[in-house]
Amino acid sequence: MARLASQALRYAIDRIRMDPPPLDAPIPYQQMLAEVGQTVTPSGLGGVEALRLFTEVLAPACISVDHPKFLSFVPGAPTEASIIFDMVVSAGSIYTGSWLEGAGAVFAENQALRWIADLARFPESAGGVFVSGGTAGNLSALIAARHRWRERAEGRHDRTRGLMMASSGAHSSVKQAARAMDADIVVVPADEKGRLNIGALESTMSALDAADRDRLFAIVATSGTTNLGVVDDLSAVADVATAHGVWFHVDGAYGAAALCAPSVRHLFDGIERADSFIVDPHKWLFGPYDSCALLYRNIHDGRRAHTQHAEYLDVLHGEQDETRPWMEMNPADVAHHLSRRARGLPLWFSLATHGSDAYTAAMEKTLDTTRFGAEEIRRRPYLELLLEPDLSILVFRRVGWTPEQYQRWSDAQLHSGQSFVVPSSWNGETVLRFCIVNPRTTNAHLVEILDSMEEDPA
Ligand SMILES: *Cc1c(COP(=O)(O)O)cnc(C)c1O
């Protein structure tokens, strides 16, 4: 056991220290099978051999999301402190569904949540929980929204199918939440920038008949769309939600991390009026997978919707009511989950270690890199910037390339270990997209990638 532990820890420490790590790339299933073989056997391989297979074959077949030239999707850039602490969380065997069992960890997680709540200027009544990701966070918030709507209707809507409103730029997980909840969704057309604007929202609203308006329980805005990084007009959405008495949810899974960046903070004005919002530390808040901070303006909205009752659980609920300070509430009670890992602790430890000013500095660094990238794209005749970046996403065209050429260039970059930039699409056209969340992504890295696009791919 000691030998295995030291080998596993050695691998972990070496991996944490790599700067940069190798990009790595997937290999086909048949090749993987040939190299790894059957690993689950009646007598076991032994830990040393299983670890060898992982470090030599399996791990190199996984792309390193923290590589500074991984700019596809939304990469990750966990701090060393957060990764080290993720290992500590595993070693600690802590259950953080309840204050009774996990008080110390819940206390620390809640200080990290309060930092996020303060960035959004949420009131003292606010509170929340860390869930697995933005998909789980959006679903939990929208379930709470529907629950409050039904409570307020005092039985009139217990069997009414709910309706929510979201822009065409909303993330797929919002539509997925509607499907999971068997609710309807009205899509508000986004403007040409991909933003939910007040005009479209009001005309969609006035096109609803009285019955539909009665079953509307939430309006969802996005603060940082995933493809374009565009922030909806949150104040305008808040006005409409307030006027109609419906729940206002902000999906900030990617973008709300930039609440801590003074240079873009104004884009988020109005988030303080939301009933709930989410942000993923595993995206742009320098934490490891998997973690999403879900915040409610009034934590009891979450608690009433999500608390599970069972004979073996009711001992936990004795004092869980409106009089209890939210900081002592059971994290299990405010989202669609029960057992949970203390997945907020890596963020907490990193924040406690470095201080929140370091987060602001790292965030501004990624925004500066993005602004530099925008300039570089603009000054190259073979590229066209399609949108001024609000946050840290650049969307641009390589003049003259076909979709096949984009794909060939992208594949060659990945398989030569250079970069991971997959084609995206914009108004139906194949384009390129950089998402910059890693403070170790430098101006020089962007120049290398942009230079490689001057020639047509082989
Ligand atoms: C990534 C993302 C999600 C989904 O988050 P996961 O953590 O991948 O579940 C939801 N909304 C937005 C805007 C996102 O960028």
Identify whether residues 135 and 173 lie together within a single domain.
yes
386 neighbors 457 (Cβ within 8 angstroms) = no
pLDDT for the residue 124: 92
> Given a cut of 90, is residue 74 above it in pLDDT?
yes
Could you tell me if residue 114 is inside a domain?
A: yes
Question: What is the distance in A from the centroid of ligand 1 to the CA of 133?
Answer: 7
Question: Per residue in 325-378, pLDDT tens?
Answer: 888 899 999 999 999 999 999 999 999 999 999 999 999 999 999 999 999 999
pLDDT-derived band at 318 (thresholds 50, 70, 90) equals low
Same domain, 23 and 160: no
Cα separation, 334 vs 336, whole angstroms = 7
Q: Of 354, 387, 411, which closes a domain?
A: 354
- Both tokens of 54, joined, read 């992982």
293 pocket-lining for ligand 1 (C-beta < 6 Å): no
Total length of the chain:
458
Residues 421, 335, single domain; the answer is no
d(CA 221, CA 214): 20
- Tell me if 347 is assigned to some domain: yes
Same domain, 121 and 198: yes
**How many structural domains is the chain composed of?**
3
**Domain match, 362 and 350 both:** no
Cβ of residue 135 lying under 6 Å from some atom of ligand 1: yes
In the three-class reduction of DSSP (H, G, I as helix; E, B as strand; rest coil), residue 191 is classed as: coil
Rounded Cα–Cα distance for residues 271 and 268 (Å): 6
Confidence of residue 197 (pLDDT cuts 50, 70, 90): confident
Q: Does residue 78 sit within a domain? A: no
Comparing CA positions, the residue from 326, 260, 284, 281 lying closest to residue 128 is 326
Alpha helices (H) in 18-161, listed in sequence order: 29-36, 47-53, 80-92, 99-119, 134-153
**In terms of residue numbers, what domain contains 323?**
86-354
Q: Please indicate whether residue 221, judged by its CB atom, sits closer than 6 Å to ligand 1.
A: no
Q: Is 229 left (phi over 0), alpha (psi -120 to 50) or beta?
A: left
The pLDDT of residue 368 is 98
**What does the pLDDT average to over 420-449?**
97
Q: What pLDDT was estimated at residue 336? A: 98
Instruction: Give a yes or no: residue 77 inside a domain.
Output: no
CATH number of the domain encompassing residue 410: 3.90.1150.170
Is 0.75 surpassed by the pTM of this model? yes
CA 152 / ligand 1 centre spacing (Å):
30
Residue 140, ligand 1, Cβ within 6 A: no
Q: Edge-to-edge strand order for the sheet containing 383-385?
A: 383-385, 393-398, 429-435, 423-426
Ligand 1 centre to CA of 173 (Å) is 7
Q: Is 223 in the pocket of ligand 1 (CB under 6 A)?
A: no
Domain-located, residue 74? no
Residues 256 and 274 both lie in one domain: yes
Q: Say if residue 435 is in the same domain as residue 421.
A: yes
Would the CB of 232 count as within 6 Å of ligand 1?
Answer: no
CB-based contact 122:352 (threshold 8 Å): no
The CB of 291 under 6 Å from ligand 1? The reply is no
Pocket probe for ligand 1: among 65, 72, 139, 171, the residue whose CB has the most ligand atoms within 8 Å is: 171
For residues 387 and 253, state if they share a domain: no
Mutate which of 74, 226, 228, 282 for ligand 1 pocket (most atoms within 8 A of beta carbon): 226
Closest by Cα among 214, 211, 201 to 240: 201
Between β-strands 423-426 and 429-435, what pairing exists: parallel, antiparallel or unpaired? antiparallel
Closest ligand 1 atom, residue 222 Cα:
13
Domain end marker among 310, 327, 354: 354
Average pLDDT over all residues of the chain: 96
Pairwise CA distance, residues 272 & 290, whole Å: 25
Distance CA 79, CA 281 (A): 11
At 42, which amino acid appears? P
Q: CA angle at residue 371 from 255 to 222, to 5 degrees? A: 20
Task: Please check whether residue 31 lies inside any domain of the structure.
Answer: yes
CB of 133 closer than 6 angstroms to any ligand 1 atom: yes
How far out from the chain centre does Cα 123 lie?
23
Asked whether residue 183 is assigned to any structural domain, the reply reads: yes
Place of tokens 């797929």: 172
Please give the distance, rounded to the nearest whole angstrom, from the Cα atom of residue 292 to the centre of ligand 1. Answer: 9
User: Measured between alpha carbons, how far is 214 from 277 in angstroms, rounded to an integer?
Assistant: 23
CA dist list (Å): 284 to 111, 287, 298, 346: 19, 8, 25, 14
Q: Is 217's pLDDT higher than 80?
A: yes
CATH number of the CATH domain containing 192? 3.40.640.10
- SS3 category, 444: helix
Place of tokens 């620390």: 108
Same domain, 35 and 121: no
pLDDT grade for 171, boundaries at 50, 70 and 90: very high
Per-residue DSSP letter, 206: H
Closest ligand 1 atom to Cα of 290: 7
Q: In a mutational test of the pocket of ligand 1, which residue from 65, 140, 167, 173 has the highest number of ligand atoms less than 8 Å from its CB?
A: 173
Q: Which of 354, 383, 412 is the last residue of a domain?
A: 354
pLDDT (tens digit per residue) in 279-304? 999 999 999 999 999 999 999 999 99
In-domain check, residue 66: no
Contacts 24+ apart (CB under 8 A), 41-48: 47/4, 47/8, 48/3, 48/4, 48/7
Instruction: Determine the distance separating the centroid of ligand 1 and the alpha carbon of 251, expressed in angstroms.
Output: 8
Going by alpha carbons, the residue nearest to atom 3 of ligand 1 is 134
CA of 431 to the centre of ligand 1 (A): 21
Residues 247 and 142 in one domain: yes
The pairing of beta strand 216-222 with beta strand 184-188: unpaired
Looking at the structure, do residues 57 and 149 belong to the same domain, yes or no?
A: no
93 and 55 share one domain: no
Residue 240 contacts residue 219 (beta carbons within 8 Å) = yes
